[in-house]
Structure 1
Amino acid sequence: MRLGLLGAIGLIIGTFVILFGGGGAAIYLGILTGLFGLKAAAASATSLVTALPSLIIGAWSYYRQGKINTKIGNRMLLAAIPAVVVGAVLSKYIPANVYKWLIGVVLAVLGCGMLLQKKTQKLDSKPTGQIYEKLEAALYGILGGLMVGIAGMSGGAVIIAGLFLLGLQDFQATATSTYVLVFMTATGALFHIAGGQVDWSAGLPLMIGALLGAIIAPQLAKILANTKITKYMKPTIGIFLILLGIKSLF
């Protein structure tokens, strides 16, 4: 019964988060601690290990469809990977309440930015525009990387918001987010595994379900890309981020 429930949860979460550019580690973290009583260190390690294979499958499928913008993704990763390492080192020194408050503010601000951005900006080809774009991409990478390193979350909320604000559209943004999260999650998993043992009895069923979801999601994205749903993706994700931020604050 427990294995079937975990597999079903993994399938639903895997499909949803890969479709919308997340990693799911934060959701797995909440489920493992809240529903199954795992300690924080074990839950962080298990959630990242659980999310990683589905992210790899999802990113590969999106890559084959030509949806990933590796140029912007790599700019984020150059800042994100060191931030994951720094976050993992500093995690023991940052009070949970302070971290939750900061993340809540960041998510709410990014969500508002997505809603208030009147139209998708075009990526600037001028030298000054390129410098600004690189700095902005690095900032989102740092914020996402710190989320992974400090709390064992995937950092997907910040990354997907940043990609939309940088001018990527609908499933190109979600595909690129999945690509970025592969490397961030892999780095974070190495550090969190060192600090907490992976609970494979919970992680494996979740992982198997998430892998199936990761196979389904890119194919579903291909179908949805030709529908009107793409028009509502950005505001929907923006509202979702605001709600996540408010939840973190209170």
Structure 2
Amino acid sequence: MKEDVIVNTIVLLFVGLIVGIIVISLGGGGGAIYLGLLASVFKISPLSAAATSLVTSLPSVIIGSWGYYRQKQINFRLGNQMLFSAVPAVVIGALLAPYIPSLIYRWVLGLILIIMGLRIVIRKGNRSSNKNHTLWMASLYGVLSGLMVGIAGMSGGGPILAGLLILGLNTFQAVATSSYVLVGLSIIGALMHMTGGQVDWQLGLPLMIGAAVGALIAPLLVKKISKSSHSNIVQVIMALLMVLMGINTIR
């Protein structure tokens, strides 16, 4: 029995490290990945998986955001607009979650992710010159992200990152600003889900430690990629991941 615990802990540390590097490099918190891992592999209840995924992702998004802040890549104007719009949506989503049929939620969320992924690819290269329009769109993406956090216990990084890219930020700035927004969302989401006492610390703590180490590496990795000729390729990969996430959500 003890050997199984040790093996699981080592596996979770390694998975947390890899996920931390990948998701912070892509401007996310990893909530969706942790949620799927905990629910499908370790077979804990959906409520416990949602709570554990949010708590697990919190240290990594804080560390990743601080790394991007030190590199002065966070767009606080758009980030704060998204955050202020997303916070009430988190609360509303958490209150509505018990009353929303899962089938309806999956289809709506899946279609939104697919559309936003396609928008990243076909968007115009320049951000809108209309400041009010830009802030209004940022608010919309913030609301979508907040609902994802409140209803499903996901990190909500998808709509935030896609929205920032659609609004014209380059890859580095979009990833950095997305990480900043997710700090606030993760804190609120984790607090709301922790009140039910559903966090599985035995599984969540190793994931949290591994992800935190990965988050230290991610900002340096993104900085290196952004200076290369592969920045546009990274955006296409992000878009494809968004579409695949949407398709998987509907299934």
In the superposition, the TM-score normalised over structure 2's length comes to: 0.95
Q: Is 1:138–2:139 an aligned residue pair?
A: yes
Pairing 1:5–2:6 present: no
**What corresponds to 1:197 in structure 2?**
198
Show the counterpart of 2:248.
247
Of the structure 1 ranges 236-245 and 83-92, higher mean CA displacement relative to structure 2 is found in 236-245
Percent of residue pairs identical: 49
Distance (Å, rounded) in 2 between the aligned partners of 1:105 and 1:188:
23
Q: Deviations over 1:151-180 (max 9, x none)?
A: 100010111000001110111100100000
Q: Which of residues 92, 97, 106 is equivalent to 1:100?
A: 106
The 10-residue stretch of structure 1 (219-228 or 55-64) with the greater mean CA deviation from structure 2: 219-228
The question of whether the paired residues in 1 share the 8 Å contact of 2:106 and 2:249 is answered with yes
Q: How far has the Cα of 1:90 moved from its partner?
A: 0.4
- Cα pair 1:17 1:23 within 8 Å, conserved: yes
**Aligned equivalents of 1:224, 1:161: Cα separation in 2:** 18
CA distances 1:93-151 after superposition (whole Å, capped 9, x unpaired):
0011111110111001101111111x422352xxxx11111110000000000000001
Paired residues of 1:104 and 1:249 also in contact (CA < 8 A): yes
User: 1: CA distance between counterparts of 2:167 and 2:196?
Assistant: 35
CA contact (8 A) 1:83 1:149 kept: yes
- Asked whether the equivalents of residues 114 and 247 of structure 2 are also in contact (C-alpha less than 8 Å), the reply is yes
| Unaligned runs of at least 5 residues, structure 2 | 1-6
Query: What are the superposed Cα offsets for residues 23-63 of structure 1, whole Å, 9 maximum, x if unpaired?
Result: 10111011011111111111111100000000000000100
Determine if contact 1:86/1:149 at 8 Å carries over to the other structure. yes
| Counterpart secondary structure, 2:195 | helix
Task: Say which SS state the counterpart of residue 36 (structure 1) adopts.
Answer: coil
Contact 2:64 2:219 in 1 (8 A): yes
Contact 1:120–1:169 (CA under 8 A) maintained in structure 2: no
CA distance in 2, matches of 1:22, 1:220: 15
Aligned to 1:31: 37
The number of aligned residues is: 245
1:69 to 2:70 alignment: no
Which sections of structure 1, spanning at least 5 residues, go unmatched?
none
Alignment of 1:180-191 (within 5 A): 180-191=181-192
Deviation by residue 1:204-234 (Cα, 9 ceiling, x = unmatched): 1000000010001011112222111212122
Alpha-carbon distance in 2 for matches of 1:249, 1:36:
22
The 3-state SS of whatever aligns with 1:197 is coil
Q: Structure 1 stretches (4+) deviating beyond 3 angstroms?
A: none
The separation in 2 between residues aligned to 1:108 and 1:17, in whole angstroms, is 18
CA distance in 2 between partners of 1:220 and 1:88 (Å):
34
One-letter amino acid of the counterpart of residue 247, structure 2:
I
CA offset at residue 195 of structure 1?
2.9
Q: Counterpart of 1:54 in structure 2: which amino acid?
A: S
Provide Cα deviations, 1:222-250, integer angstroms capped at 9, x if missing partner: 22221112121222211111111112122
Match of 1:217 in 2: 218
Q: CA deviation at 1:196?
A: 4.4
In 2, Cα distance between equivalents of 1:142 and 1:149: 10
The 3-state SS of whatever aligns with 1:66 is: coil
Q: Answer yes or no: is the 8 Å Cα contact 1:159–1:177 preserved in 2.
A: yes
Who is 2:53 aligned against? Answer: 47
- Provide the C-alpha distance between the structure 2 equivalents of 1:123 and 1:214, rounded to a whole number of angstroms: 32
- Give the equivalent residue in structure 2 for 1:87: 93
CA RMSD for the aligned pairs? 1.0
Aligned-partner Cα distance in 2 for 1:33–1:16: 20
